[in-house]
Amino acid sequence: MRDRDLNTELRKARRAFGFPPVSRARADGLLAVGGDLSPERLLVAYANGIFPWPSSTDDKIPWFCPTPRAVLVPGRIRLGRTLRRTARRAPFAITFDRAFPQVITACAELRRASGTWITPEMTQAYIHLHRLGFAHSVEAWREDTLVGGVYGVSLGSAFFGESMFRREPDASKLALLALLDQLHRWNFAFLDCQQMSPHVERLGAVEWSLDHFQSQLGTALETDTRQGSWSAPTPS
């Protein structure tokens, strides 16, 4: 079976995994509660524009599909003067899929004080998805020290950004820019940011309605998925 056929089957499997139509999501984006974090359920969710957003205090997993949806379109990114200068200096070494467990663990640890949705169960589930070749990370290094990174899930020509962290100024931003640059080279349709934030808005993120997002996602899933480990690109 071709990857694009698998993507289509994932999209059709929504009902089998208990997900209602995305149009039934509440105003805050909540669509369903329950289930597990198996790779199959996660992939079906992402193929339908749904993602888990659990609380560390609740055993039941909430699934969200917010509208409008914030997305970054590769090739249409805005860089401020300061960030552009920093990117030209290339202060960090950038790698792809070199330290996925460390990146997701760092994302969870840095948000634990304010309450994180990256529970231990989420961490293990996404590490499993990474080993299957669907979840990816981009890392920023200062010599041998991991100082920033971003991770997410890839299906077809869609990338679903999950979280990012930094231990040095601009480290996570440069990791994200490296990811966006590579997605542009690979003709990816969009990077899903889930919800608008000041950071992604400054980079040129736009908001799509639910119907438009689902339409673009359906088109993106007609492309074969780049499953497996990703390699760092040659700097441009």
**What is the side-by-side order of every strand in the sheet holding 145-155?**
93-96, 135-142, 145-155, 158-166, 190-194, 69-72, 206-208
Binned at pLDDT 50, 70 and 90, residue 41 comes out as very high
Please report the pLDDT score of residue 233 as a whole number.
64
Please report the pLDDT score of residue 154 as a whole number.
98
As a whole number, mean pLDDT of residues 96-119 equals 83
Please report the pLDDT score of residue 231 as a whole number.
85
Is residue 107 predicted with pLDDT exceeding 50? yes
Please report the pLDDT score of residue 135 as a whole number.
98
Place of tokens 């919800």: 195
196-231: pLDDT as tens digits: 999 899 999 999 999 999 999 999 999 999 999 998
Which residues are 51's β-sheet partners? 64
Higher per-residue confidence, 134 vs 57: 134
Binned at pLDDT 50, 70 and 90, residue 89 comes out as confident
For residue 193, give the nearest of 99, 183, 185 by alpha carbon. Answer: 183
Please report the pLDDT score of residue 112 as a whole number.
53
28-39: pLDDT as tens digits: 999 999 999 999
Is residue 129 predicted with pLDDT exceeding 80? yes
Is residue 55 predicted with pLDDT exceeding 90? no
Is residue 234 predicted with pLDDT exceeding 70? no
What share of the chain has pLDDT > 70, as a percent? 94
Is residue 1 predicted with pLDDT exceeding 70? no
Contacts of 174 (CB under 8 A, 6+ apart): 86, 87, 91, 92, 94, 140, 148
Binned at pLDDT 50, 70 and 90, residue 160 comes out as very high
Is residue 79 predicted with pLDDT exceeding 90? no
Q: Can you state the percent helix, strand and coil of the chain, rounding each to 5?
A: 40, 20, 40
Q: Tell me the domains of the chain and their CATH numbers.
A: 3-64 (3.30.70.3550), 69-220 (3.40.630.70)
DSSP structure class, residue 88: H
For residue 200, give the nearest of 226, 232, 161 by alpha carbon. Answer: 161
Binned at pLDDT 50, 70 and 90, residue 236 comes out as very low
